Amino acid sequence: MQQAGVAHYLRAMADMTGIDTCALVDVETGMAWHVAGRLPQQDVLVEAATDYWRMYLRSRSVPKPYGELRAHIMLYAQGRMTIAPCGDGTVLVCFSQDAQPIDWSAWMQQARVLQSHLMQARSHGT
């Protein structure tokens, strides 16, 4: 995986208005491959977030009338955690502020660019 490219995309996402932290995390192990942002203890937070995604994976065989899940969003009193698939075996974890408006279309576009970069890197064996 091209480490510099992934770090670049995550920094760009973490710099978006209202976003505190973005990370690429391995679903199976919970290990954060890259983390960009400014939350205290963000490594621990993003690694723990994969538990929510694994819970979704255990129940996804149940028919869903709306299709595949694009993102899992947890709302908290002070903000939100968003988890989205990002390639084989990895998820994109984002912590954002509740009080700030966020351009989710731009965020999802950035997530697709990151996923495309990961797929290209994996197909080239890097």
Average pLDDT, integer, range 3-13? 85
What is the pLDDT at residue 25?
A: 93
User: What is the domain partition of the chain in residue ranges?
Assistant: 3-123
Q: Give how far Cα 109 sits from Cα of 13, 26, 51, 116, Å.
A: 10, 21, 25, 11
In order of 15, 72, 85, the CA distances from 118 in angstroms are: 20, 20, 12
- φ/ψ of 17, rounded to 5, equals -55, 130
| Mean pLDDT rounded to a whole number for the chain | 86
**Amino acid residing at 40:** P
Res 47: pLDDT: 80
Token reading at 125:
């064996």
Residues above pLDDT 70, as percent of the chain: 94
- Mean pLDDT over 20-35 rounds to 91
Q: What is the pTM of this model?
A: 0.85
- List pLDDT tens digits, range 71-88: 889 998 988 999 999 888
Q: pLDDT for 32-69, tens place per residue?
A: 888 999 888 877 888 888 888 888 888 877 777 888 88
Burial class (CB within 10 angstroms; exposed 0-12, middle 13-18, buried 19+) of 78: exposed
Q: Decide which of 3.40.50.720, 3.30.450.30, 3.40.50.2020, 2.40.50.100 is the CATH code for 3-123.
A: 3.30.450.30
pLDDT the model gives residue 2 = 59
- 30 sits in the region (left: phi over 0; alpha: psi -120 to 50; else beta) called left
Q: Which residue has the tokens 């950035």?
A: 110
